[in-house]
Chains A and B, each alone.
Chain A
C-alpha cells in the first residue's frame, strides 16, 4: 500500500482486542487460521478457521476407481501419510472380503511404524521450534530425512508412498533394504540421548511446556481426544493393542502413558512411542527375514474391479490418534461414500479452542503443535 493511503485504526473502547493468527503465520502448523480475542496477552476466546487446505477428497474419491484412490488417500495427511493408505485399504478389504497375505501384513506394519517415527521426529522439531529451540528442529527434520531415504528405497518416493494397496502392498523389499533400515533405526536410537540433552531435558522446554495446554482425562474423553494426546492424560488406550489389526497382536510393545495431560506430557508420550516403534520395527524386520510369500492377494483387473455393496468402518492408530474411514460401496467400481475421520478434526478445532482459553499468546503455537494437529486432515 502506498504510504499516503495508510489509515489509522480506531480500537473499540475495550481492553480486549482481536488478533488473527494465520493462515500465513509461522506459529501455525500448516495452512490454518485462528482468530483470538485477547485481553493483554491472555487469550479470552479462540476460534479456529479451517478449509484452507480443503480439496474435497471425499467427493473426489467417489469419482475414482477403487484402485485409483490409493494415490489420493496419502495426501490427506502430509506428515503421516501411511496410516491413511492402511485404513483405506483395510476398509476395502473388509468390504471385499480380501485376505491380505502374511508377508504383506508385516510389510504394512513396517511402513506404518516407519511413518509414525517420521511423524514423531517431525513433531519434536515442530514443537521445539515453537519454544525457540531451533537446533532441535534442524535435528528432527534431518533425522526424519534418513527414514525418508528408506521410504524412497522401499516405495520409490519420499513422502507420498502410495505403497499399500487393497489386498496387500505394491512391491516387496529391495535387496539389502532390511539391513539399511536396521542401520537407520540404530542411528535414530542413538540420537535419542542427544535429543534428551537438547530437548526433553532442556529447561526452556520443560518450563514452557509444563502446565501448558493442560487437560484432564475427563476433558480429553469428552472432547474426543485420542492417540498420544489421550494417553498423556493417563488413559492407556491404543487401537494397536485394543483393536489389533494386521499383526500387532503378535508383537510386543508397551502403551506409553503420562498423567499430567500438558504439552510436556504429550511430548514425553511421543518420545516413549519412538522407542516402542523402534522395538516393533525390529520385531517386524526379524519376521520379514523369515516370512515368505506373496505380497498381494490375487486381484482382478483394476479397471473392472467392483467391491460388493456394504459398509465398513476401519480404524488405525496413527501418530496423531484414531484415524477412521467409513466407506460405503453400492457394488460398483467406485466408492459410493468415503468419510475420513482424522484425529486432528477433534484436536485442532474444539479441543484447541478450549485449551487456549486462558493461555498466553505465545503459547498458542505451542499448544497447537503439542496436540500435533494436522490441518489437511481437518480440511480434507
Chain B
C-alpha cells in the first residue's frame, strides 16, 4: 500500500466553503448548561443540603442576621456560598436541593486574578449581576431525593372501632430503614422542636441500625419518647425540609420505632447513663405528674436532688393518662416512660391533692423549691341555654371518667361541640363505646370553624369520619334541647364568620339556618383552664397574673423565689411544649440551688 499523493489535494476544495470559525463573542450555552450557580433566596431555607452533598466541600453556608429566620417554618438565616476553586459543576447540589431554589445558570465566564472573587453567594442575578437564564434546573427527572413517605400500617376501621387498641401499628424494619434513609440531616427539625430533640442524630442511628444510640439521642432531651413517638404534635415534621417537594420524614414514627426496638430494661439502662450518683441534699416538690412535672422531676433527680411528685389522681401521667385516648397512646407505653423516670429516683405520691391532704405552704417549708405543673384539667363551658343540664359534660371530664375506668353510662346518641383535637378524642372515644354497647355509632360533631379552619389534625378528621362520626363544620351551638328533664339534642345555627375585622373572637350566625343534632349526651370541647383552687389566697396575691394565666419568666420562675410553674397551665396544651418547659424549669431550679438562691423559708 502506498496511498495517494493527489487525493489529499481535494481538501483544497474547502477553500470555497464557508468557514466554520465562530465569532469571538461567547456563544449562548445550551438550555441545560451547568454554569455558575443561581439561588432564589425567597425559596432557599438555608438547610445546607447542598453543602452536604457537595463532593468537593465547595459549598459553605453563610449566616446573615438580616435574613428571615423562622425555626417553626423550617427556615434558617443561612445561604450557600460557592467556592469556585473547588466546584466541579456536577450539579448534585441542584439535584439534591429540597426546595428547588438552587439551579445552575447558562453563564460560564469568570476571569480574574483576584482569588477572592471565586467565592461568592449566588442569588437570582448570577455571578456578575447580569441575570443570566437558568441552565441546569430542578426538573422532575433529576430530583435525587426520595419524596415519598413510607406508608404506615393501621388497623382497619372495623377492627379498631371494636375496642381501644392502638390504631397505628408502627413501622416494620424495612419501612423504618427506608424512611430513615430519606433524611438529609439538615437539622431544621431540631430547630423547630420545642425541646430541640436530636432528631437527625437518632434518625441516622435508626438508619445505621444502632438503636442504642438512637435511644441515647432521644433521651438527651426527651424522657417521654414513647409518648411523644405517638402523640406529639410533631412541629419537626412541618419544618422538615423535605415537605417543600414531597412528604416530610415521619420523624415521630421513627422515634417510636427506635424505642420499640429495645426492651424497657435496656431503655432504662440507657436513660440512666450519665446520672449523678451523689446526693445534693436538696429537696424539690412537684405538683402534678404530667409531662412537665415529670420532666422537671427527671432532670432534677438526675442531678442528684431529692424529688417528690404529688399527684391528685390515683395514677401518674396527667393528661397523658386521663386525656389522651388509649387508641392513640397505649397505657403500657406510658407506664414504661414513667417507670424509667421513677428509676432515676423520682418519688411519685399519687392520690394526694395539694390543698386538701397537704398544703402549698406546707410544701414550701418542707422543700427547697416547689413546681406547680397542674395542667388544664377544668373544661370551659359554652354557657348556652341548657348547658347546665347534668347530661352536658366537658370533654376533659368525659375523658377522665372514661380513661380512669369510672362508671359511665354510654349514650345512644351524642353531640360534641368543638373542632379541635380534644373534640375529636371525645367523639372517637364515644364512638368506640357506642360500638361496643350498641353495635352502631351515632356521634355528631359541631365545629364553629369551616372544614379547612378546623384546629384538629387532618388525619384525626379523616379517621373520625371513617369511624362514622358525622362532622358538621360551621355550626354554632344555640341551645341544648331538654324535654321532660331529658336531654334530646343540640340546636345549632350556621356560622358565617368567627372573627371580626380586628381579629377578635366575634362569631356571626345565620339564625335562619338552624338544625338539630340528636344527643342524649352533649360534650363541650371548647377549651380548658387550670384548676388553681390549690393555691391559697395569700400566695395568689403574691403572684403575678396576666389574663387569668400565671405569669412566669422564660425559665418558668414566678414572682416567688421558691416557686416555679410549668406545663399546659403556662403554655397551653401540648406534650412536647410541656417537656421543653420542664427542662427549662429544672435547669433554672438547679442553677438557683447551686447559687443558693430560691430557698424556701
A interface residues (Cβ-Cβ under 8 A, vs B): 64-65, 67-72, 135, 142, 149, 152-153, 155-157, 160, 162, 170-172, 174, 194, 196-199, 201-207, 210, 264, 295-296, 298-305
* Segment at the interface with A among B28-36, B61-69, B71-79, B303-311: B28-36
* Segment at the interface with A among B3-11, B339-347, B435-443: B3-11
- B residues in contact with A172, CB < 8 Å: 141
A203 touches B3 (CB 8 A): yes
Q: Give B340-357 as 1s and 0s: 1 = Cβ < 8 Å from A's Cβ atoms.
A: 000000000000000000
Which of A156, A201, A202 makes the CB contact (< 8 A) with B30? A156
Q: Does B136 contact A (CB under 8 A)?
A: yes
A156 touches B136 (CB 8 A): yes
Q: Does B96 contact A (CB under 8 A)?
A: yes
Give min CB distance, A307 to chain B, whole Å: 12
A72 touches B3 (CB 8 A): no
What's the Cα separation between A196 and B2 when bound, in Å?
A: 14
B3 touches A206 (CB 8 A): yes
Q: Give B160-185 as 1s and 0s: 1 = Cβ < 8 Å from A's Cβ atoms.
A: 00000000000000000010111111
B interface residues (Cβ-Cβ under 8 A, vs A): 1-5, 7-8, 10-11, 20, 29-34, 49, 52-53, 55-56, 88-92, 95-96, 104, 135-136, 139, 141-142, 144-146, 178, 180-185, 204, 207
Could you show 9 A-B contacts with beta carbons less than 8 Å apart? A142-B20, A156-B91, A157-B34, A171-B141, A201-B4, A205-B3, A207-B2, A302-B145, A303-B185
B3 touches A204 (CB 8 A): yes
What's the Cα separation between A301 and B143 when bound, in Å?
A: 10
A198 touches B11 (CB 8 A): yes
A304 touches B180 (CB 8 A): yes
B91 to A, closest residue via Cβ: A156
What's the Cα separation between A202 and B34 when bound, in Å?
A: 41
- A residues in contact with B207, CB < 8 Å: 304
A300 to B, closest residue via Cβ: B181
A301-B146, A303-B185, A305-B181 known; A68-B1 Cβ under 8 A = no
- A residues in contact with B90, CB < 8 Å: 70-71, 162
Which of A67, A162, A199 makes the CB contact (< 8 A) with B144? A67
- A residues in contact with B145, CB < 8 Å: 301-302
B10 to A, closest residue via Cβ: A197
A210 touches B182 (CB 8 A): no
A153 touches B3 (CB 8 A): no
What's the Cα separation between A332 and B144 when bound, in Å?
A: 19
The DSSP consensus for interface residues of chain B is loop
- B residues in contact with A171, CB < 8 Å: 32, 139, 141-142
- B residues in contact with A298, CB < 8 Å: 146
Give min CB distance, B120 to chain A, whole Å: 21
A135 touches B11 (CB 8 A): yes
B92 touches A68 (CB 8 A): yes
Give min CB distance, A124 to chain B, whole Å: 14
A71-B88, A170-B95, A197-B11 known; A300-B33 Cβ under 8 A = no
What's the Cα separation between A172 and B140 when bound, in Å?
A: 10
Which of B4, B104, B178 makes the CB contact (< 8 A) with A300? B178
A298-B146, A304-B183, A304-B207 known; A152-B92 Cβ under 8 A = no
Give min CB distance, A86 to chain B, whole Å: 16
Give min CB distance, B222 to chain A, whole Å: 23
- B residues in contact with A203, CB < 8 Å: 2-5, 8
Give min CB distance, B93 to chain A, whole Å: 11
A206 touches B88 (CB 8 A): no
3 smallest CB-CB distances across A and B, nearest first, come from A206-B3, A68-B55, A71-B90
What's the Cα separation between A296 and B95 when bound, in Å?
A: 13
B181 touches A301 (CB 8 A): yes
Give min CB distance, B391 to chain A, whole Å: 54
B178 touches A202 (CB 8 A): no
What's the Cα separation between A305 and B185 when bound, in Å?
A: 13
What's the Cα separation between A377 and B575 when bound, in Å?
A: 60
- A residues in contact with B183, CB < 8 Å: 301, 304
A194 touches B11 (CB 8 A): yes
Which of A194, A196, A302 makes the CB contact (< 8 A) with B96? A302
Give min CB distance, A155 to chain B, whole Å: 8
- B residues in contact with A194, CB < 8 Å: 10-11
- B residues in contact with A174, CB < 8 Å: 31-32
- B residues in contact with A170, CB < 8 Å: 95, 141-142
A68-B55, A157-B33, A304-B207 known; A299-B144 Cβ under 8 A = yes
B249 to A, closest residue via Cβ: A301
A202 touches B4 (CB 8 A): yes
A303 touches B52 (CB 8 A): yes
- B residues in contact with A197, CB < 8 Å: 7-8, 10-11
A165 to B, closest residue via Cβ: B144
- A residues in contact with B4, CB < 8 Å: 201-203
A303 to B, closest residue via Cβ: B184
- B residues in contact with A68, CB < 8 Å: 53, 55, 92
- A residues in contact with B10, CB < 8 Å: 194, 197-198
B146 touches A202 (CB 8 A): no
A156 touches B146 (CB 8 A): no
A162 to B, closest residue via Cβ: B90
- A residues in contact with B144, CB < 8 Å: 67, 299, 301-302
- B residues in contact with A295, CB < 8 Å: 141
- A residues in contact with B88, CB < 8 Å: 71, 160
Give min CB distance, B56 to chain A, whole Å: 8
- A residues in contact with B56, CB < 8 Å: 71
- B residues in contact with A65, CB < 8 Å: 55
A304 touches B2 (CB 8 A): no
What's the Cα separation between A33 and B508 when bound, in Å?
A: 89
Interface centre among A203, A210, A303 (most CB of B within 10 A): A303
B32 to A, closest residue via Cβ: A156
Give min CB distance, B245 to chain A, whole Å: 13
What's the Cα separation between A207 and B4 when bound, in Å?
A: 10
A67-B144, A304-B181 known; A153-B7 Cβ under 8 A = no
- A residues in contact with B34, CB < 8 Å: 156-157
What's the Cα separation between A197 and B90 when bound, in Å?
A: 41
- B residues in contact with A162, CB < 8 Å: 90-91
B11 to A, closest residue via Cβ: A198
A156-B91, A301-B182 known; A202-B7 Cβ under 8 A = yes
What's the Cα separation between A201 and B10 when bound, in Å?
A: 12
What's the Cα separation between A199 and B11 when bound, in Å?
A: 10
What's the Cα separation between A162 and B91 when bound, in Å?
A: 9
A160-B88, A171-B142 known; A202-B8 Cβ under 8 A = yes
B31 touches A71 (CB 8 A): no
Give min CB distance, B392 to chain A, whole Å: 52
What's the Cα separation between A149 and B183 when bound, in Å?
A: 37
What's the Cα separation between A204 and B92 when bound, in Å?
A: 48
Question: 5 new A-B pairs (CB below 8 Å) besides A71-B88, A170-B95, A300-B182?
Answer: A152-B30, A157-B89, A174-B31, A201-B4, A304-B204
